[in-house]
Amino acid sequence: MITYVFSLLGLTYISLMIMAYPHAKNGQSIVVAGPWWCLYKNSYKESVGNLCNFGRVILGLDLILLAFIYL
């Protein structure tokens, strides 16, 4: 069950990354294409701020679940 929740959160995280990527500032597209995209809120235009915040929450939940699975 936890593995399914982990997978669902991961897919949601990737979907948010895909939605936020077109809003990257000029010259920042390489920086925001990585797995830690939500930590670079300053590399996006102002309209993506809520996506970055939601991405941070999902990333935190994913990391907690990952630790729970492996411990």
List the pLDDT tens digit at each of the 71 positions of the chain: 888 888 899 999 999 999 999 999 999 989 899 999 999 999 999 888 899 999 999 999 999 988 988 88
Instruction: Look at residue 71 in the predicted model and tell me its pLDDT.
Output: 84
Which runs of consecutive H residues, i.e. helices, occur in the chain?
2-20, 49-70
Instruction: Look at residue 59 in the predicted model and tell me its pLDDT.
Output: 94
Instruction: Return the axis-axis angle of helices 49-70 and 2-20, rounded to nearest 10°.
Output: 150
Per-domain residue ranges for the chain? 2-70
> Shortest CA distance to 39 belongs to which of 55, 25, 23, 28?
55
Give Cα 54 to chain centroid, integer Å.
Answer: 8
Instruction: Look at residue 68 in the predicted model and tell me its pLDDT.
Output: 86
